[in-house]
Amino acid sequence: MAQGPTIALLMRPRLLGLLNVWRRADLPRRLTFSVFGGMTLAFWVGVLAVCVYFLRMFNGVELFGPLLLRKALSMLLLSFSGLLFFSNIVTALSSYFLSDDMQLVQSLPVSPRRVFYYRALDTMLNSSWMMLIFGLPVLLAYGIVHQGGVLYYAVALGGLVAYLVPSAALGIVVACLLVRGFSARRIREVMALVSGLFLVVVLLLLRSLEPERLVDPEAFGTLAEFIAVVRTPDSAWLPSTWLSEACMWALGNPIDNAPLTLGLLFVGGPALLVAARWLVAPLWFDAWTNAQEAPRKVASRSRLVAGIIDGITRPLPIVWRTLLRKDIRLFLREPGQWTQAMLLLGLVVIYLYSVDSLPLDSLPLKTGVLTNAIAFLNVGVAGSVLAAIAVRFSFTAVSQEGRAFWVLHASPIGARRYLWSKFGMAFVPSIVLGETLVLSTNAMLGVDPLYGWIAGGTIAALSVGVTGLAVGLGALYPNFKADSAARMASGPGAILFMVTALSFVAGCVVLLAVPIGVLLARQYQGLPPGPGLITALVAVVLIVLAANVAAAIVPVHRGARKLWGDLGNVGD
């Protein structure tokens, strides 16, 4: 102990906090944790099974299958890299500069070096848990399909951890430079700049890859040109390339400069983190000091903005009007909230552009049937997007009240009315985004009106269900002590919501897929839909609608009882 606490001791309070949640829980709550833990495991196994199914299907295509899978892994990891980079910047801003416990950590007899690595580990865990949940099944599926041995799994699992380090190191450096250069008083401009840079980087990466060319045989002059493009890895200096090439090497595929690739993967990441500490060390204290200054909240205090907010909410009842005005002003005071909303708009543009670039005319299928099928599958993609957005904005809506929650708790406002106001605040942008994704895609593809109405109605229902589920579970598992929305959206409750929401979206899509699949098959054969099929389709649509209404009402009511506890005033 002469050298001070280790990183393990610094991480111990968080681990003990998670253990205390279980130790202090009563039997019903432990049963709830166990059931939802089992659901999480089942969801993860389901993702693994889906990945194995599709990999085996593509791998069965002679000559082209293995090449396409190799390129697909590299492209998937490259897209994850962009998301990880931005996520680490946002998380590092909170972990290193805006966290409430940094003053306590500063007063401990801990060397700055250990504080840096402790916060780096904290940043990487908070920003990368989604990658571990959704990226790990992909790597395991590659090993199962290609019958990888112990070497592959060791390289894949160790490489996945090493793959996360460079994004965290770069994110920490960028966050420190931004805070040091702009100060906390201009944090809005900082976050807007970060969002803009991220959008530019992701857009350039995606368009430079031109993934639509891989399914368009006419885009290549010869077969040799196609094979050369698919076999050529992405930039040799990207961590995604290091991990994908290392996995291919562990599966027995020859790669160029295997020792260099493995060295960059397992040594380059830690070396980059050390270099980040050297860069940050002389800047960090001044940047942290600047970050303690109170930011100016010009937009939330502007008379023009206040007049617009008051005008929009004036028709509502007085209680909802007051709560919505408060939430809108809090939203404007948090740059991380509305700048990430700008980011989401950019991602929507990228997604729509990618859909518009699909070479559907070159595929050997009837274009009308194919576009209708894509329009239906797009509902599942849009529903997953809504779930990912809800965990960041809707699920954290209650927790963001923070230590001021007691004011609402002591007010003459019922818990249900309070949560339904949160639902209304989150539902409007959710349905606007969902309908924008679905209707724009339908217009680009030129789908039949029937499928367009089904897609639009389904995403509207999913907006209700996912938003209600997020608000309700956020009330069941609030975290009023978290110092940032990123921490609120990375806890056990958030993981539970993501698993439940994605499973719910998948269940609705699968349920609708039965009559829609039969309808598409009859359209492909040139047969009209019979009255029995139309009746079945209407029945399934009504079931999905009822399920989404129940998914919104039940969690909100249960969350109201849990949030207000035994103090009454729940049903107002």
Three-state SS annotation for 197-222: HHHHHHHHHHHHHCHHHHHCHHHCCC
How many angstroms separate the CA atoms of 217 and 41, rounded? 40
Three-point CA angle 499, 501, 503, nearest 5°: 65
357 is a domain residue: no
358 is a domain residue: no
343 is a domain residue: no
Q: What is the pLDDT of residues 110-123, one digit of tens each?
A: 777 888 888 888 88
419 is a domain residue: yes
| Residue 14 scores a pLDDT above 90 | no
Mean pLDDT of 358-375: 62
Mean pLDDT of 428-453: 83
Mean pLDDT of 515-527: 80
Domain boundary among 296, 324, 341: 296
Among 16-25, 202-211, 320-329, name the one with the lowest average pLDDT: 202-211
Q: What is the pLDDT of residues 184-238, one digit of tens each?
A: 445 545 555 555 555 555 555 555 555 545 555 555 454 444 444 444 445 667 8
Quickly state the pLDDT bin for 462 (edges 50, 70, 90): very high
208 and 176 together in one domain: yes
How many angstroms separate the CA atoms of 284 and 120, rounded? 13
Structure tokens at 148: 């990888």
Mean pLDDT of 77-93: 78
Question: 33 exposed, middle or buried (CB, 10 Å; 0-12, 13-18, 19+)?
Answer: middle
How many angstroms separate the CA atoms of 472 and 446, rounded? 37
281 and 206 together in one domain: yes
The C-alpha torsion from 347 through 350 and 352 to 356, rounded to 10°, is -170
Quickly state the pLDDT bin for 344 (edges 50, 70, 90): low
Instruction: Say whether 397 sits in a helix, a strand or coil.
Output: coil
503 and 450 together in one domain: yes
How many angstroms separate the CA atoms of 69 and 144, rounded? 13
Q: Comparing 134 with 366, which gets the higher pLDDT?
A: 134
Q: Comparing 133 with 272, which gets the higher pLDDT?
A: 272
351 is a domain residue: no
Mean pLDDT of 149-176: 88
Three-point CA angle 490, 494, 495, nearest 5°: 90
Quickly state the pLDDT bin for 367 (edges 50, 70, 90): low
495 is a domain residue: yes
Which residues fall within 8 angstroms of residue 206, CB to CB, at 6 or more apart?
79, 350, 354
192 and 289 together in one domain: yes
**E strands, 108-174, where?**
none
How many angstroms separate the CA atoms of 357 and 376, rounded? 18
Structure tokens at 539: 């029945």
323 and 283 together in one domain: no
Q: Report the percentage of the chain scoring pLDDT > 90.
A: 5
| Residue 549 scores a pLDDT above 90 | yes
Task: Please tell me the predicted confidence (pLDDT) of residue 223.
Answer: 44
338 is a domain residue: no
394 and 307 together in one domain: no
Rg of the chain taking only CA atoms, in angstroms: 25
The tally of domains found in the chain comes to 3
446 is a domain residue: yes
Task: Give CA separation, 131 vs 45, 79, 127, in Å.
Answer: 15, 11, 8
| Residue 320 scores a pLDDT above 90 | no
| Residue 519 scores a pLDDT above 80 | yes
Mean pLDDT of 474-495: 74
321 and 418 together in one domain: no
376 and 237 together in one domain: no
Of 32-41, 51-60, 149-158, 289-298, highest mean pLDDT: 149-158
271 and 322 together in one domain: no
182 and 45 together in one domain: yes
Task: Give CA separation, 144 vs 110, 134, 248, in Å.
Answer: 45, 16, 13
Quickly state the pLDDT bin for 2 (edges 50, 70, 90): very low
Q: Comparing 94 with 558, which gets the higher pLDDT?
A: 558
- Cβ atoms of 384 and 505 within 8 Å: the answer is yes
What is the domain extent for residue 307?
A: 299-333
Domain boundary among 267, 296, 325: 296
Three-point CA angle 393, 394, 399, nearest 5°: 85
Mean pLDDT of the chain, nearest integer:
76
Q: Report the percentage of the chain scoring pLDDT > 70.
A: 75
Q: What is the pLDDT of residues 51-75, one digit of tens each?
A: 888 888 777 666 566 666 777 787 7
Task: Please tell me the predicted confidence (pLDDT) of residue 548.
Answer: 93
Q: Comparing 361 with 125, which gets the higher pLDDT?
A: 125
232 torsion bin: left (phi>0), alpha (psi -120 to 50), beta (else): beta
- Cβ atoms of 494 and 395 within 8 Å: the answer is yes
Three-point CA angle 485, 384, 361, nearest 5°: 140
DSSP state of 265: I
Task: Please tell me the predicted confidence (pLDDT) of residue 230.
Answer: 47
122 and 266 together in one domain: yes
- Cβ atoms of 135 and 35 within 8 Å: the answer is no
472 and 504 together in one domain: yes
| Residue 400 scores a pLDDT above 50 | yes
How many angstroms separate the CA atoms of 284 and 291, rounded? 10
Q: Within its chain, how far is the Cα of 511 from the centroid?
A: 24
